[in-house]
A and B are shown apart, each in its own frame.
Chain A
Amino acid sequence: MSENSLGQPIPHDEEAVVIVGSGAGGGTLAYELTAKGIPCVVLEAGPYLKPEDYENDEWAAFNQMAWLDNRTASGSFRVARDFPNLPAWIVKAVGGSTTHWSGATPRFRAYEFQTRTYYGEIEGANLLDWPITLDDLAPYYDRAEIAIGSTHRHGRPALPANNNYKVFANGAEKIGYRFYATGPYGTNAEPYDGRPASVQDGFNFQGDKSTAKWSTAVREIPRALETGKLDLRPESQAVQVTHDAQGRANAVLYLDKDGNLHRQAARIVCVAGNSIESPRLLLMSASALHPDGLANSSGQLGRNYMRHTTGSVYARFDRPVRMYRGETMAGIVADEARQDTSRGFAGGYYMETLSLGPAFLAAFVDPGSWGPGYTEVLDAYENTAGLWIVGEDMPQETNRVTLNTALKDQWGLPAPDVHFDDHPNDVAMREHGYSRADLMYEAVGAVGTHHTPPYPATHNLGTCRMSARPEDGVVDKWGQAHDVPGLFVSDGSVMTTGAAANPTLTIVALAIRQAERIADQLGKGEL
């Protein structure tokens, strides 16, 4: 038997809650449900790596954990040209992308749940109000912040200013920004929740060996295992969700690490594979009843793919900065995270400190570039400060995940294609962000700045959007498929629109809320 299973074994024919993926969404859901005594099987495509296994080396860590199975990128975004097989940076391991996430945890603003109402009709944008409001989510945001241990919230102290933040915050202050701080950020400034305080080791986009950084791999999954209700199956990739004759989700077919196919019976199925793999799995689960893919009666499955409007600015100074020392993203400016179309675009954006080592900076600062202009940027490494722009991008029906039947993965399954074109609103926002970042850095003496285009997406959203009406989206306000009873989506793909905020806090809040709903419904025999 080549199956890898940890925790309390659950028989394959026992109808359990089956969760696909163990990242922000799946890991949280597994913990919340098992803590309430509900047995869960978690199928996770990646291995269970422990903090001592994590690599503190950019390429080694990336190659250790990133999802590198065949994928394609298409459309006019630059990633499709520079990284045609790497549309996104997503982690394949227990803990999902929370193992590589950085930690910025702003909440959505109230208007961002109602963009159709606030932004009106924007040509080419498939805007829609969420079926829930900030008030609905607020209590779950509290619980998510407490779980993550976000700094500046619920009594958690702020992280200290590192070198990169000193440049960033001074620049912000000089140009009149007020709403900056070293958080909220999901890494401990002091010991909390059984995990230590940050040692400022500078490795955030890699697994955190110290465990000061929250991830579901260091919190939710180990705790779920302790309940005795979790059967965790790493290196187990779901390939199909099936339903019974009445159309109810009833099982998940998956491959173990040697490619043997297994079937796990399910009372309910919760898909949390992140916004590329979740729609891919449902598209691969097409059946006679659902010929265009499971839960795709609306035709919206895989569409409205969002990746946030991003860009980075690296500024050179004539004195040392050493941006790589310390917490990578413990610095946020929120002054531009608002709706004010006098700036020339709808929606808002944050600026957050960002640092890459020379290895990643060389690969991503200006892909394909070479020559003296390029090496000048790298030669200034020690004297460089960096930030990331992250803002709301417009959902577009044509930005979508489809099955690329011309390319197979290592199992012979169609690879996902990620098609993306920038919306003019995205471009206008990015340009605004670049110019504001230039002003910030010039205000504190930058001798030059470099505008870096978007990286492969770390924020992937929207492909199973939530909607009030079944014809507008894939899932309802609880994340349950409109057209497949017993099928839930539990990750960032349910986002109706993406807001400016980094998504993880919201994914965790939604998963806690969904767990409460599922437990309640199971208890009443309504699921």
Chain B
Amino acid sequence: MPDNPTTDADRRASLVRLLRAAYPHPKFPDGPYERTADEILSQSQATLWHQLALTNGLDALDARAGGSFADLDDEAALALLKEIEDAEFFVFIRGVAVVTLYNDHETWELLGYEGPSFDKGGYLHRGFDDLDWLPSPRIEEYDGPEQLVEVAPDDMPAATAGDQR
């Protein structure tokens, strides 16, 4: 394939735009989307088929957008993606995106996930039970007067003693 740096950079830009439209997180900066785009581009290199599908798919998106997909506003971009939801290149993009965008440590931070904790002594002294907007519930098993009825009276097998073979 001819190596055309301008086109590749454009493609990366439209991929980032596409990812933002497909996985809109207003709080997210470009970093997680860019790293995801790079991962998609790199994985697409593994098979010629994905490489072709991705290139053609992104070009087709531009064409359908009447020039540049990257210039569409959020609503129009989303609507266009809905139309091509089952296109192979978009399925490929989503397959890589869900395991990359949300496996990104900056994403974790943005979503409020603190990740591994063993080296820090776990969450035992770091808020595992700091929720304070509900009362502290019982942790022991119930030992009050109510009984759990394992089998409802209507579901007891009929007294079939005489009927047994």
In the bound complex, what is the Cα–Cα distance between A319 and B130 (angstroms)? 12
In the bound complex, what is the Cα–Cα distance between A198 and B125 (angstroms)? 12
- A162:B23 contact, CB within 8 angstroms: no
Interface string of A45-59 (1 = CB under 8 A from B): 000000000001111
- A160:B98 contact, CB within 8 angstroms: no
- B99:A359 contact, CB within 8 angstroms: yes
Q: Which of chain A's residues have a CB closer than 8 A to the CB of B161?
A: none
- A198:B131 contact, CB within 8 angstroms: no
In the bound complex, what is the Cα–Cα distance between A159 and B137 (angstroms)? 12
Q: Which of chain B's residues have a CB closer than 8 A to the CB of A180?
A: 137-138, 142
Interface string of A160-200 (1 = CB under 8 A from B): 11110111011001000011111100000000000000111
- B99:A363 contact, CB within 8 angstroms: yes
- B122:A161 contact, CB within 8 angstroms: no
- A370:B94 contact, CB within 8 angstroms: yes
Supposing A158-B140, A179-B142, A358-B113 touch, asked if A210 and B118 sit within 8 A by C-beta, the answer is yes
B73 in contact (CB, < 8 A):
no
Interface string of A449-462 (1 = CB under 8 A from B): 00000000000000
Q: Which of chain B's residues have a CB closer than 8 A to the CB of A162?
A: 128-129
Q: Which of chain A's residues have a CB closer than 8 A to the CB of B150?
A: 109-111, 338-339
B2 in contact (CB, < 8 A):
no
How near does chain A come to B157, taking the closest CB pair, in angstroms? Answer: 5
Supposing A342-B152, A361-B102, A379-B27 touch, asked if A166 and B116 sit within 8 A by C-beta, the answer is no
- B152:A326 contact, CB within 8 angstroms: no
- B102:A169 contact, CB within 8 angstroms: no
Supposing A200-B128, A202-B123 touch, asked if A178 and B146 sit within 8 A by C-beta, the answer is yes
B162 in contact (CB, < 8 A):
no
- B137:A161 contact, CB within 8 angstroms: yes
In the bound complex, what is the Cα–Cα distance between A179 and B101 (angstroms)? 40
- A159:B112 contact, CB within 8 angstroms: no
- B139:A182 contact, CB within 8 angstroms: yes
Interface residue ranges of B138-161 to A (CB < 8 Å): 138-142, 144, 146, 148-152, 154-155, 157
- A321:B101 contact, CB within 8 angstroms: no
B165 in contact (CB, < 8 A):
no
- A340:B152 contact, CB within 8 angstroms: yes
- B24:A372 contact, CB within 8 angstroms: yes
A444 in contact (CB, < 8 A):
yes
- Among the 9-residue stretches B7-15, B45-53, B63-71, B103-111, the one with 4 or more Cβ atoms under 8 Å from chain A is B103-111
Supposing A362-B98, A375-B23 touch, asked if A118 and B115 sit within 8 A by C-beta, the answer is no
How near does chain B come to A153, taking the closest CB pair, in angstroms? Answer: 10
- A359:B102 contact, CB within 8 angstroms: yes
B3 in contact (CB, < 8 A):
no
- B152:A166 contact, CB within 8 angstroms: no
- A181:B141 contact, CB within 8 angstroms: yes
In the bound complex, what is the Cα–Cα distance between A120 and B24 (angstroms)? 51
Which residues of B are at the interface with A, using a C-beta cutoff of 8 A?
A: 22-25, 27, 78, 81-82, 94, 97-99, 101-103, 107-108, 111-118, 121-124, 126-131, 133-142, 144, 146, 148-152, 154-155, 157
Which residues of A are at the interface with B, using a C-beta cutoff of 8 A?
A: 56-59, 109-111, 117-118, 120, 152, 158-163, 165-167, 169-170, 173, 178-183, 198-203, 209-210, 319-322, 324-326, 334-335, 337-342, 357-359, 361-363, 368, 370-372, 374-375, 378-379, 381-382, 444
Question: What 9 A-B pairs have minimum CB-CB distances, sorted nearest first?
Answer: A199-B122, A382-B112, A169-B137, A362-B102, A201-B122, A56-B116, A326-B128, A325-B123, A340-B152
